[in-house]
Amino acid sequence: MTIQPGDKLPEATLMHLGDAGPAPISTGELFGGKTVALFAVPGAFTPTCSNQHLPGFIEKSEELRAAGVDTIVCLSVNDAFVMSAWGQQQGVAGKVMMVADGNAELTQKMGLSMDGSGHGMGTRSLRYSMIVRDGVMETLNIEQNPGKAVDSGAENLLSQLG
């Protein structure tokens, strides 16, 4: 079942690459006590993700923060090294936190996974964005336009902050 507005995000352990290497980060630690703009992509370095989705959140990062967002998180079913390399290539420093859900633990618990095996990708995340306040999902935007980042894009999420 897909997570619904008002639901608490499930407990899961994600990974983030810091100065000391890959480090686990719990959903409680990542989302507790703050407002988070979370967006997920099917894969790092893929065309729509690299050309539309992530760049939109980089461009709108200051506006999102001005609207009350404490942290902007990009999540993908990739490993922490891939997420870090993609973030460096895209220039996310100080704007977007790159987080790996390498085992699709959180993605599957939220009911937001997809089967990408037909494209050699295995289990991946749907393209979506959400606002999470103190660990509770407030708004969910699952992308309805294949190959686009409109519903799940930064502009749409920004319009939902109030």
Question: Domains in the chain, please, with CATH?
Answer: 13-159 (3.40.30.10)
Q: 49 an active-site residue?
A: yes
Residue pLDDT, tens place only, 112-160: 998 888 887 778 999 999 999 999 999 999 999 888 999 999 999 999 9
DSSP the chain: ----TTPBPPP-EEEEEETTEEEEEEHHHHHTTSEEEEEEES-TT-HHIIIIIHHHHHHTHHHHHHTT-SEEEEEESS-HHHHHHHHHHHT-TTT-EEEE-TT-HHHHHTT-EEE-GGGT--EEEPPEEEEEETTEEEEEEE--STT--STTSHHHHHHT--
Residue of 14, 40, 44, 49 marked catalytic: 49
Residue pLDDT, tens place only, 52-97: 999 999 999 999 999 999 999 999 999 999 999 999 999 999 999 9
> In the prediction, which pLDDT does 115 show?
84
Confidence of residue 51 (pLDDT cuts 50, 70, 90): very high
> In the prediction, which pLDDT does 19 show?
86
